[in-house]
Amino acid sequence: MLNPFNFNIDLPVRSEWKNVDLLRSSVQNCLTTILSDTDGCHAIAMIVAELLENAIKHGDWTGEESPDVPAFRLRVWSEGNNHALVSVENPIKPDAAAELGRILDSIRTAGSADEAYRARLLEVAANPQSGVSGLGLVRVAYEGNCTLRAEHSEDRTRVKVIAEMAL
């Protein structure tokens, strides 16, 4: 068995859609160079992309002074031999914070991530005009086999994901 090691990716990010795919591929490529679990690397990259999309869609970008100023922070790191964590911190619209809480509560109270995903699909199908699907976060819990939690301050939200993966 290899000695335990840690990795850490910590980046300020501009709120531009092109950055979602750039960071998804970059994170996947970086992790693939150091970890043998390619499925786990793909799962972490998917989590990164979904959380970044969520931050861009629901972030409060009215206070941005310049397109060159990073608007939020992405962090991907390890703890111990089998935990990878992903955190995205961004300013959030007040109504989006309430919806985020509702989605995370629905995931927690479902019997499983699979049940939460199916329930959310049915909810979206029943009300397609709502404009907010929330599927990305439920997908993270289901496909990423992980736990999500949100931490709020007065004007910032950090969504933290704990994912199990072999390192």
Residues found in the chain: 167
Question: Is pTM beyond 0.95 here?
Answer: no
**Average pLDDT, stretch 137-153?**
88
- How do residues 86-119 score in pLDDT, each as one tens digit? 999 888 877 888 888 888 899 999 989 999 999 9
Query: In this predicted model, what pLDDT tens digit does every residue of 30-88 receive, in sequence order?
Result: 999 988 889 989 999 999 999 999 888 888 877 655 666 667 899 999 887 678 889 99
Question: pLDDT band for position 1 (50/70/90)?
Answer: very low
Domains and CATH numbers, the chain: 8-164 (3.30.565.10)
CA–CA distances in Å: residue 99 to residues 11, 106, 159: 26, 11, 13
Question: Could you tell me how far CA 71 lies from the centroid of its own chain?
Answer: 16
Quickly list DSSP for 101-154. HHHHHHHHHSSSHHHHHHHHHHHHHH-GGGS---HHHHHHHHHTTEEEEEEE-S
pLDDT given at position 130 = 67
Inter-residue contact 58 to 139 (CB < 8 Å):
no
Contact 87, 158 (CB under 8 A): yes
Distances (CA, A) of 166 to 1, 20, 25, 35, 97: 12, 25, 20, 8, 32
Cα dist. 53→58, 140, 151 in Å? 8, 12, 18
**pLDDT for res 116:** 93
Please state the rounded mean pLDDT for residues 159-163: 76
Task: Answer yes or no: is pLDDT of 7 > 80.
Answer: yes
The DSSP bridge partners found for residue 156 are 91
Nearest Cα to Cα of residue 11 among 47, 44, 52 = 52
